[in-house]
């Protein structure tokens, strides 16, 4: 330091130094000036900007203060039905650092691709892209984050990687009305925490994988319009939490298993447009609202 009151700093370039500068500024602001600084780190800002570019999201204008001042991520002036909502957790480093935890972008007519960079948001628990035009396959990088909800209903998603089964935190997987084809991914059966699985209105072929019988916590299962050979009713015994079961036009043959009648929480059952025979279980129907 030279003359009193003059401070000269040489800061190297690169993402690490940018994070350091951000932290220093936060400390100076909080300690010296007593302000309430809650900032996104620069790397996270860059990730969000890349995601916006790849999805052609014109509604985002991300800055380091977007979590604390609500500007650049959340849009409150959209028409009814459209949603641009981002939730942050600003409890890190004594309330000075924020991380994005939920992203909801619904009915925004986004026409880009599903970005790999979602996997860089290490605190992200929800991605909801309902009713857009997002294309491409789900990226394998999603296995790097603690997702509990993944919804891309009504888009143009064309692929589910086998790595989907490694997202051990996932509780809701909603991919209805997309461009998915080929066999149903059997590794979905590894998602032991899954409560909701909605895959109807796609172009799947083949039969329902036996591994889906491992999903004992399912409350909602929706599959429809399978193409290919017929098969017996899948083995779903033990799914006592089931509330909604829809397997419409799945080329099912044989009879409805007796254990379906033991699902006391079941309110909706749709097995239409199949080749099922035999009697409906005697115990079924007490709680059903729709059959």
Going residue by residue through the chain (291 aa), what tens digit of pLDDT does each one get? 444 443 333 334 444 444 443 444 444 444 333 345 799 999 999 999 999 999 999 999 999 999 988 788 988 889 998 999 999 999 999 999 999 999 999 999 999 999 999 999 999 999 999 999 999 999 999 999 999 999 999 999 999 999 999 999 999 999 999 999 999 999 999 999 999 999 999 999 999 999 999 999 999 999 999 999 999 999 999 999 999 999 999 999 999 999 999 999 999 999 999 999 988 887 776 656 665
Q: How far apart are the first and last CA of the chain?
A: 79
- What pLDDT was estimated at residue 179? 98
Q: How far apart are CA 3 and CA 41, in angstroms?
A: 33
pTM of the prediction? 0.86
Q: Alpha-carbon distance 138 to 35, whole Å?
A: 41
Distances from the Cα of 179 to the Cαs of 112, 134, 158, 165, 200, in angstroms? 15, 11, 5, 20, 11
CA dihedral angle for residue 248, residue 253, residue 255, residue 256, rounded to 10 degrees: -30
Sequence-distant (≥ 6) Cβ neighbours of residue 289 within 8 angstroms = 267, 268
Alpha helices in 56-94 (DSSP H): 66-69
Give me the torsion for CA of 194, 183, 160, 215, rounded to 10°.
Answer: 10
Instruction: Give pLDDT, residue 37.
Output: 76
Nearest 5 degrees, angle CA 134-CA 102-CA 114?
20
CA dihedral 115, 117, 122, 127 (to 10 degrees): -10
The span from the CA of 68 to the CA of 168, in Å, is 31
Q: How far apart are CA 214 and CA 168, in angstroms?
A: 13
Tell me what pLDDT residue 281 has: 83
pLDDT attached to residue 290: 64
CA distances from 44 to 6, 47, 71, 76 (A): 32, 5, 16, 23
Task: Give the per-residue pLDDT at 36.
Answer: 58
Tokens matching residue 129: 């892209």
* pLDDT attached to residue 187: 98
Nearest to 92 by CA among 149, 172, 23: 23
d(CA 39, CA 165): 34
């Amino acid at each position: 330091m030279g003359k009193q009151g003059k401070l000269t700093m040489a800061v190297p370039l690169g993402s690490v130094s940018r994070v350091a500068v951000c932290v220093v500024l936060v400390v100076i602001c909080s300690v010296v000036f007593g302000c309430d600084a809650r900032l996104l780190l620069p790397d996270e800002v860059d990730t969000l900007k890349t995601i916006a570019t790849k999805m052609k999201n014109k509604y985002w204008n991300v800055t380091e203060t977007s979590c604390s001042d609500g500007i650049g991520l959340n849009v409150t002036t959209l028409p009814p039905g459209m949603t641009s909502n981002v939730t942050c957790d600003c409890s890190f480093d004594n309330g000075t650092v924020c991380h994005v935890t939920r992203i909801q972008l619904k009915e925004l007519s986004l026409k880009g691709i599903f970005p790999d960079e979602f996997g860089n948001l290490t605190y992200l628990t929800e991605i909801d892209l309902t009713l857009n035009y997002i294309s491409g396959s789900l990226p394998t990088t999603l296995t790097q984050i603690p997702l509990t909800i993944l919804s891309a209903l009504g888009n143009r998603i064309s692929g589910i990687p086998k790595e989907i089964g490694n997202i051990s935190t996932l509780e809701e997987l909603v991919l209805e009305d997309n461009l998915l084809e080929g066999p149903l991914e059997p590794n979905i059966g590894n998602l032991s925490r899954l409560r909701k699985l909605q895959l109807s209105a796609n172009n799947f072929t083949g039969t329902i994988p036996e591994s889906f019988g491992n999903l004992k916590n399912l409350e909602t299962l929706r599959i429809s319009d399978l193409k290919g050979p017929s098969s017996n009713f899948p083995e779903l015994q033990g799914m006592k939490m089931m509330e909604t079961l829809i397997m419409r036009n799945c080329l099912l043959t044989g009879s409805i298993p007796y254990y379906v009648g033991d699902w006391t929480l079941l309110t909706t059952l749709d097995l239409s447009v199949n080749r099922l025979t035999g009697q409906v279980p005697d115990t079924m129907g007490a709680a059903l609202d729709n059959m």
